[in-house]
Structure 1
Amino acid sequence: MAQIVDQWTKRVEDGTNADGSKRYRKVHSDRWGKGKRWLARWDENGRRVSQSFETKDGAEAFLSRTVTEQADGVYVQKSKKDVTVAQVWPLWWSGKAGKSKSLRDGYQAAWKHVEPKWGSVPCQQVTRAAVAAWLPTLTSRLLGEDGEPRPLGESSMRKVMIVLHGVMETAVEERIVLSNPVRMKDAPKQKPSERRYLSVAELDRLLAALPGSSARLVVDVLVRTGLRPGEAFGLQVGDLDPVRGRLRISRDVDAQGQADDTKTRRHRDVPVGGDLLLDLEDVAEGRDRGEWLLADSKGGWTRDRWRHVWSTATAEAGLDELDTYELRHTAASLAIHSGANVKTVQRMLGHRSAAMTLDIYGHLWDSELDALPAQMDAHMRAERERFKERRARADRQQSDSRTG
C-alpha cells in the first residue's frame, strides 16, 4: 500500500470524543526541522521501500508515478536506480566468452575509454546528449608529431560505442533502465578504407627484397590464398593436404604468438597448387603434424617478429606504408582478374556472405562490365547467324521436297 508520511509531526492522544472514541492531535516530532519532511512509502516485490522529499507535492507526484509504472509493468526498482555502468560491464562482458580473442581484446581496449567517463555513473543518469558530446573528445594513446594525443580514429570510436551501447542494452534487459539512451547512429560513419592492390611487378620487387625463403613463402601463401596474416602464422603441418591441394584454416595467432580461433570462428579450406604446393610440401616433409608450417629460425612466426622483416623489405622495395593485410586485397584482385566468381572469392577469403565480398571488392568485377557490351553484340550476331542458317536449311528442305 502506498502512503505519504509527515516525518516532522506525530499524533498523540488528546482525550476522547463525545462518542467515546479517542481524539488525536499533531505535535512536533523529534525530527522537526531536520532533513526532508515528506516520506513516500510503497511496496516493491513484497518489501517496503521509501524515499524522502522536501515537499508534499513532490512526494505525491513521485508516488503517483510509481504506482502507475508498477501497474503498466515499466517500473524500475529503487534498488537498481544506483547501479553504475561499471557494475553492468561484467554482465555484458561475460556474454563475449565465445568470441575470438582478437575481438575480445578490441572490446577490452574500448572499455578503457568508456570506464573513466561512465564507469561510476548510474545507468539511470546516462543520456544520449551527454554521450554524443563526449564521443568527439576521445583521443588515442598514441601521440602526434606535436607531442599531443591524436583524436581517436573512426573505427576505434565505433568500437567504443558498440561497447557502451551493449552495456546499456544489458542494463535494459536487467530492468535497470527502461530504454537504451545510446544510439549507434550517433557514432561516426566509418569511411571506406583505401585498399591497395599490388601489381605483379611490385610483388616481384617485394619478394626479391625479403631476406630468406621462409619470409618469401609467407608472402607467397598470403598472395595466393588471401589468408589473414594471423591465419597464415597459425597454419600447422597437419593443415596441409597435398593430395587434395588444400590448406585447412582453423586458427589464428596473435601478436604474442598465442593460438586462438579464427576471426569469424569458422573454419575453411583454401586451394593451393603449382610451385606453392611443392614448396609447402618441402617445408612440411618429415615434421610433426602439430608444428608450425610457416616458421622462421626461431620457430613459428609472430606478428611482432614479422613486423621488423616486413618494414625492412617494403622500404627496400619502394613500397612504403604497405600493410601486410593488403596482400589479402592483392590476393582477391588476382583471383577476380583470373576469372573467379564472387562465391569462389568469398569462400577463399572466409567472408560470411557473398554480399560482404561484393561490398568490399565488387568494383574489381568492373572489367566484366566493360566486356559485357561486346559480349552481348557477339551473342546477338551469333543468334542472327543461327536464325539465318536455320531459315536457309528450311528453304533447302522445301526445295528438295518439290524437286523430289
Structure 2
Amino acid sequence: MGSIHSYTTSEGKRYMVKYRKPDHSQTSKRGFKTKRDAERFLSSTSVEIAEKRYIDPTDARMTVGELGAIWMTDQEAVLKPSSVHPLESAWRIHVEPAWGNRQVGDIRHSDVRAWVSQLSATLGPTTVIRSFGILAAILDIAVRDRRLADNPARGVKLPKKRPKPRVYLTHRQVAELAQRAAYPHVVYFLAYTGLRWGEATGLRLRDIDLPRRRVTVYENAVLVNGHIHVGSPKSHRTRSVRYPDFLDPMIRSLFVGKDATQLLFGDGTNHLRLPNSKDGWFAKAVRRAQKEDPTLPRVTPHDLRHTAASLAISAGANVKAVQRMLGHASAAMTLDTYADLFDDDLDAVATALAHARNRSIYPPSDTPVVLPPEVPGIGI
C-alpha cells in the first residue's frame, strides 16, 4: 500500500511516506520526525482508503469562497427571490469576508465558535443564525464531496431567538383602523381572510368566486430590492379561502371597470406595494386610530394576519380550518404559532373535567357514591 523513506534536513533526520490514492495515483507526505509517526500515518491512511473514508489533501484546499459561489447559485435555482435575498446579503456581508479565502481543510471547530461569538456581540440572533447556517451548509457540501471527513461547524452553540409578542386586534379595533386608512378594503380583507400581503395584492378578478364568496390564492407578489416579484404562494400550493358575507359589497365594488385578468386591489395593473412602516398610509392610519382609541396597539399589515387567526379561533373555528385558511403546512404549525390563543381552552378543559367528574360521582339522583377505599387521593 505504501513505503517509508528517510531523508536528511538541516534540522535532522526526517521520514516521508509514499502511498497510492484510491485513483491509483501516487502521492507522498513528508516531515515526520520519527519512523513510528510515519508508520502510524501510513497505517491509518491505508485503513481509510480500504474503508473508502480517505480524504485527498488536495481536495481540502478548495476555499469557502469557491464552494460558496456554487452554493448560492444552487439556492437561486430552487428558492424564491424573497428567500434568496436575505441569504445573499448575509453571505456578502458576514460570511464571505470572514471565510471566503479560507481552505475548507484549514477550518477548525474553535474557529467557527469564535466567529459566532464575535457576530453575537453586535448582531441579532436572526442574522447570526442565518450567517452560521450558510457557512455550515457550504461545509456540508465539502463533506459530501469528500473534501472533509466531518463538518467543523456542527455542534456550535447559537444564540436563541426570542419570539416577538403577537398583536391581535378586536373587531371594533379593525373597524376603527379601516375607517382611517387610505385603503380600508385592504385592512378589512387582510383581517378577515388571513392572507399574506403578497397573496392579497396578487389576487386577480378571475381568482374570486363571487357567488361562493371564495378567493383562490395562485400568486404571491413580494417586494424584493424595490422590485415586485410574482411567484407561487409561500407553501407552493394554491388554496381557497372564504371571506365573510359583510365583505361582499366591498369585493364587488372592486370589480367595477376591470376585466378578469386585472388585479383586485389598486388600479388593476400595478401591484399595491407594502406601505412604509414609518410614514406609509398604514402607519398613519394606526396613529390616527390610536388618538381615538389609546388601547389600540401598534400594528403592521402582517399583524392583520395574526388578527384573522385570533378572530377565527375566538369564533370557534377548529385548528384544521385555521390551518387551511392561513396556508400553514400542518395543523401542528398552526398550534405552535398561535399557542397563546388556546390558553383559555385549558381553563375550559379543566372546568369540563370537573363537571364530568361530578356527574360521574354524583348521579342525577343526588345520592352520593362512596368510592372504594382502594382508590386513594380522590375525595368526594
Query: TM-score, structure 1 length as denominator?
Result: 0.77
1: CA distance, partners of 2:10 / 2:264: 81
Contact 2:275 / 2:281 at 8 angstroms: preserved in 1?
A: no
* Pick aligned residue for 2:189 from 221, 243, 251: 221
Which residue number in structure 2 is paired with residue 51 of structure 1? 29
SS of the residue aligned with 1:181?
coil
Whether 2:113 is the aligned partner of 1:132: answer yes
Q: CA deviation at 1:259?
A: 0.9
Query: 1:108-257 counterparts in 2 under 5 A?
Result: 108-112=88-92, 113-138=94-119, 151-183=122-154, 186-211=157-182, 215-255=183-223, 256-257=227-228
Distance 2:302 2:197 in 1: 7
Check the 8 A contact 1:107/1:163 in 2, yes or no: yes
- Assess, with a 3 A threshold, how the Cα gap between structure 1 residues 75 and 231 changes in structure 2: closer, same or farther: same
CA distance in 1, matches of 2:13, 2:200: 68
Partner of 1:82 in structure 2?
Answer: 61
Cα pair distance change 1:273/1:154, threshold 3 Å: same
> Aligned partners of 1:330, 1:123: CA distance in 2, in Å?
47
Question: Contact 1:41 / 1:50 at 8 angstroms: preserved in 2?
Answer: yes
Using the alignment, how far apart are the partners of 1:70 and 1:335 within structure 2? 61
Query: Structure 2 CA distance, aligned partners of 1:36 and 1:159?
Result: 49
Which residue, 91, 94, 102 being the options, matches 2:82?
102
> 2:206, 2:12 → 1: CA distance?
75
- CA shift, 1:206, in A, is 1.5
Q: 8 Å contact 2:178–2:185 — kept in the other structure? A: no
Alignment map for 1:33-48 (pairs within 5 Å): 38-44=15-21, 45-48=23-26
Give the drift of 1:62. Answer: 3.4
CA separation in 1, counterparts of 2:78 and 2:155?
23
In the other structure, the counterpart of 2:314 is: 337
Q: Name which of structure 1's ranges 54-63 and 114-123 shifts more when overlaid on structure 2.
A: 54-63
Partner of 1:64: 43
Aligned length: 353
Distance (Å, rounded) in 2 between the aligned partners of 1:184 and 1:190: 17
SS at match of 1:345: helix
Query: Residues 23-69 of structure 1: CA distance to partner in whole angstroms, max 9, x if unpaired?
Result: xxxxxxxxx86999654322221212233326454554433332232
CA offsets per residue over residues 173-195 of structure 1, 9 Å max, x none?
A: 11111111223661222222211
**8 Å contact 1:3–1:40 — kept in the other structure?**
yes
Output the aligned Cα RMSD. Answer: 3.2
Mapped partners of 1:79, 1:35: distance in 2: 27
Deviation at 1:80, TM superposition (A): 0.5
* 1:359 and 2:336 are equivalent in the alignment: yes
Partner of 1:259, secondary structure, is strand
| Contact persistence 1:100–1:262 (CA under 8 A) | no
Unpaired runs of 5+ residues, structure 1, are 9-31, 140-149, 389-404
Q: Are residues 53 and 287 of structure 1, via their aligned partners in 2, closer, same or farther at CA, if it must alter by over 3 Å?
A: same
Question: After the TM superposition, which of the residue ranges 231-240 and 337-346 deviates more from structure 2?
Answer: 231-240
SS at match of 2:321: helix
Unaligned runs of 5+ in 2: 291-295, 366-380
Q: Secondary structure at the match of 2:169?
A: coil
Match in the other structure for 1:322: 299
**Aligned residue identity for 1:353:** S
Deviates more, 1:313-322 or 1:66-75: 313-322
Q: 3-state SS of the aligned residue for 1:257?
A: strand
After superposition, the C-alpha distances for 1:252-306 in whole angstroms (9 at most, x for unaligned) are: 2222222122222222111113132332222124423332211159832122568
- Deviating more after overlay: 304-313 vs 243-252: 304-313
Q: Quick one: distance in 1 between partners of 2:24 and 2:361?
A: 86
Stretches of 4+ aligned residues off by more than 6 angstroms: 34-37, 377-388
User: Considering only CA atoms, is the larger Rg found in Structure 1 or Structure 2?
Assistant: 1
What residue identity is the alignment partner of 2:113? Answer: A
In 2: Cα distance, 1:297 partner to 1:250 partner: 16
Could you tell which deviates more after superposition, 347-356 or 230-239?
Answer: 230-239
- Shift of the 193–60 alpha-carbon distance from structure 1 to 2, 3 Å rule, reads same
CA–CA distance in structure 2, aligned partners of residues 378 and 277 of structure 1: 42
Counting aligned pairs with the same residue, the percent is 32
1:101–1:260: 8 Å Cα contact kept in structure 2?
no
- The 8 Å contact of residues 61 and 105 in structure 2, kept in 1 or not, is answered as yes
Provide the TM-score with structure 2 as the length reference. 0.82
Per-residue CA deviations over 1:56-87 (Å, capped at 9, x if unaligned) read 54554433332232123211012212011222
Are the structure 2 counterparts of residues 284 and 341 from structure 1 closer, same or farther at C-alpha, using a change threshold of 3 Å?
Answer: same
